[in-house]
Structure 1
Amino acid sequence: MILSDFDLKNYIKSGRIVIEPFDESIVRENGLDLRLGDEICELMGIEEVLDPYTASDISKYYNCHKIDEFIVKPYNKYLLTTLEYIRVPPELMAFVELRSTFARLGLAIPPTIIDGGFEGQITIELHGSAFPIKLRKGTRFLHIVFSKVTSPIERPYSGKYQRQRGVKLPHLPID
């Protein structure tokens, strides 16, 4: 069951879903629009092989910086963060989608799920279009659709990205 705007407002009012900072304008018909935060990491095109099965300095593969606005270069890949810090209760999960206008400009994100029990800012991968596009901090950028699971999750999310703030690079080694 997908939550409606009525359901979402009640979950937020009761504190079951936490959105900080919260603004009524992000509540949509069947989800929430989250805004672009102030940090990006551009994936760098370097030749050095990364072995994700060993601990290594992952930062050399990314160019990270704070932004007010930036240009998405054609076909480049970025990690972005949301302005909002969220907390999802264990009886819900959420699907993350790019807002339609940005998809129509040729931008794309991979399929992304927010697990029940997750808490933090969302780090999302963005793939550039065929032409440069300017983005600004605070722009409603992602659409999150919440769904009830058939029963509360017995082991809510408590992984390595719990309570993340800003863009979080991959934690290595992978398991």
Structure 2
Amino acid sequence: MILTGPEIEKQVAAGRIRIEPFDPSRLSPNSYDFLLGDEICWYVDEVLDCRVENKVRYATIPEHGTVLEPGRIYLAGTAERMGSEHYVPIIRARSSIARLGLFIHVTADLIDIGSINNWTLQLHAVQPVRVYPGMRIGQVTFWSVEGEIELYRGKYQHSRRPMPSMIHRDFSDEELTTQPVG
């Protein structure tokens, strides 16, 4: 079941949801608006390889904003450190952002229970769009769970900046020695 805005505020006060910093004015009927952080990165190479660590370039988003171009994925962090060991967060773009053709996640909207981070957003623009640090970019909802809870302890835990893919760590040494097809 989804938590209402007032319930999110109660759970933050009780320490069962972490949103740091927390601003009650950003509560909605059943979500909390989060902000775009000031750091962004993108992959250097045109072709990305799942078996190797892909190089990224980091930059600070200036106060006058930066333009995101189509055909590229940008990784940016949330300004807030968020998460819960009791509820499952799900992120979405604010409707005003979606109406500009900006995706803030590329299928990765479900945040694991116990993942407490400055979350990495996967920004993809349908057409060029300028974004600014500190702008309201997305919303998070919190969902109650049933069953035994196993907390996230994965490779992105405790991240404070945009994190590129670490899928290359999922391949075994044996898999890395095989030749790719094509």
Q: TM-score, normalised by structure 1?
A: 0.87
Report if aligned partners of 1:96, 1:142 keep a CA contact under 8 Å in 2: yes
1:56-95 equivalent positions in 2, closer than 5 A: 56-59=52-55, 62-68=56-62, 69-89=65-85, 91-95=86-90
Q: Does 1:10 align with 2:19?
A: no
Instruction: State the identity %.
Output: 31
Q: Per the alignment, in what secondary structure is the counterpart of residue 7 of structure 2?
A: helix
Instruction: Show the counterpart of 2:113.
Output: 116
Counterparts of 1:87 and 1:24 in 2: how far apart (Å)? 16
CA distance in 1, matches of 2:95, 2:31: 13
Change (3 A) 1:17 1:152: farther
Structure-1 residue corresponding to 2:137: 141
Partners of 2:61 and 2:114 in 1: how far apart?
29
Report the residue type matching 1:39 in the other structure: E
The one-letter amino acid of 1:165's match is R
CA deviations 1:85-116 (Å, max 9, x no partner) are: 01312x31011111111111111232311111
Kept after mapping to 2: 8 A contact 1:99/1:143: yes
Instruction: Tell me if the contact between 1:41 and 1:80 (Cα under 8 Å) persists in the aligned partners.
Output: yes
Residue 119 (structure 2) pairs with residue 126 (structure 1): no
The question of whether the paired residues in 2 share the 8 Å contact of 1:38 and 1:137 is answered with yes
CA separation of 1:152/1:10 partners in 2, compared to 1, >3 Å: closer, same or farther?
farther
Equivalent-residue separation in structure 2 for 1:104 and 1:140 (angstroms): 14
Runs of 4+ with >4 A deviation: none
SS at structure 2 position matched to 1:119: coil
| 1:168 corresponds to which of 144, 163, 172 | 163
The Cα offsets for residues 22-71 of structure 1, whole Å up to 9 and x where unpaired, read as 11222111011110001111234525x62x23xx4422xx3221113211
Q: Specify the SS of the correspondent of 1:173.
A: helix
8 Å Cα contact 2:83-2:89 kept in structure 1: no
Shift of 1:14: 0.8
CA distance in 2, matches of 1:114, 1:46: 28
Distance 1:81 1:26 in 2: 18
Correspondence for 2:94: 99
In 2, distance between residues paired with 1:92 and 1:57? 32
Q: When you count strand as a share of all residues, which structure comes out higher?
A: 1
CA displacement 1:127-157 (0-9 Å, x = unmatched): 1122x2111100110111111012351x210
| Cα shift at 1:174 | 2.2
Runs of 5+ consecutive residues of structure 2 not aligned to the other structure? 172-182
What residue identity is the alignment partner of 1:120? N
Residue 99 of structure 1 aligns to which amino acid in structure 2?
Answer: R
